[in-house]
Amino acid sequence: MIQSPVVKSLYNFATVNAEEVAQVYPNGIQDICDRQIDGLIIENILNPTEIGKVVSQLNRKGPLEGSPFGDILIYGPALYVSSEDTGKYCQEAVEFRHFCRQLFSGGRDFERRMSEVLSTLSGGRVVELPKAADGSEYTPASIRVLETDQFMGWHFENQFLHCTPGYRELINKIELSDHLAYFVVLSDPEAGGELVLYDIQWHETEWTDRENGGRGCNGTINGRPLAEVMEEYSQMTISPKPGSLVIFDGGRILHRVSAVKGKRRRITIGGFVAFSRQREKVFYWS
Ligand SMILES: O=C(O)CCC(=O)C(=O)O
Ligand SMILES: [Fe+2]
């Protein structure tokens, strides 16, 4: 068997090449959910030519009109900001998938590639997009663009399970113990823009009002607000190369993306991954 380096620091992230992942981590999603490893970094899932073509088309500055993401430019809808009625979200999913197909048309189609890579990690399970009651499909991903000095604030993906009305249907379909996050790096910043993981796990935190607290990010650890004490805890940073897929237990591990430094933008395309309730399927969505 090919030996893959497991970074023995705060969390165990294994780095593998896209070509060897089927051999080394054929059940990688389960390995993460069962805490054999905390995450995987799979390099070269897209090649530099494919990525270059995509990035050269993403020239917009500033958020889309009416964006729910503040100053950050995000293409595609996100279930965590959807209302309980996912109709609008599903319509935006259709539009985003069309946009994404055009965007990646100079190389391998993102959606097809992502489903292929997740399938190699799925232990033979089918990989599907969740569907709304009327059969409309969720979006497989969204694209996140961080300009100089922009960042993503701290969170656990588990917060979404409790506080976001958009998740009301999905929580009945997915295994709630491990809500994984995934992203593929399309453009890496000159500095900063690191994924920062903290030595703080979901089960160690307290959310007196999970619904509003999750949204307001006012969880505590040992009774002290996370926002005030998190920097006292050990950290680990990850700065993957363009073309790499990172998949990790973002539901369980407190994380954030540090501010981008330098002129080059940080662009990622990603979403979330979870098993269905009986683990017979793998769902991915954004
Ligand atoms: O870098 C990204 O696109 C998202 C980072 C993150 O918070 C996640 O993957 O859960
Ligand atoms: Fe996250």
| Residue 220, helix vs strand vs coil | strand
Residue 30 · residue 102 · CB < 8 Å: no
33-50 core/surface letters (b: 16 or more CB in 10 A; e: else): beeebbbbbbbebbeeeb
Q: Which residues are CB-neighbours of 246 under 8 A, at least 6 positions away? A: 39, 40, 41, 42, 182, 183, 184, 185, 195, 238, 240
Closest CA to 213 of 170, 168, 164: 164
How far is the centre of ligand 1, averaged over its atoms, from the C-alpha of 281 (Å)? 23
Quote the CATH superfamily of domain 6-278: q2cbj1_9rhob like domain (2.60.120.620)
The dihedral region occupied by 76, where left means phi > 0, alpha psi between -120 and 50, and beta the remainder, is left
What residues does each domain of the chain span?
A: 6-278
pLDDT tens by residue, 5-34: 554 589 999 999 999 999 999 999 999 999
pLDDT tens by residue, 37-58: 999 999 999 999 999 999 999 9
User: Is the pLDDT confidence value at 94 over 90?
Assistant: yes
Question: Best of 257, 260, 269, 285 to mutate for ligand 1, by most ligand atoms within 8 A of CB?
Answer: 257
98 vs 70, more confident: 98
User: Is the pLDDT confidence value at 270 over 90?
Assistant: yes
Distance CA 271, CA 110 (A): 13
pLDDT tens by residue, 137-172: 999 999 999 999 999 999 999 998 887 889 999 999
Question: Best of 152, 160, 182, 260 to mutate for ligand 1, by most ligand atoms within 8 A of CB?
Answer: 152
Residue 129 · residue 138 · CB < 8 Å: yes
pLDDT tens by residue, 234-268: 999 999 999 999 999 999 999 999 999 999 999 99
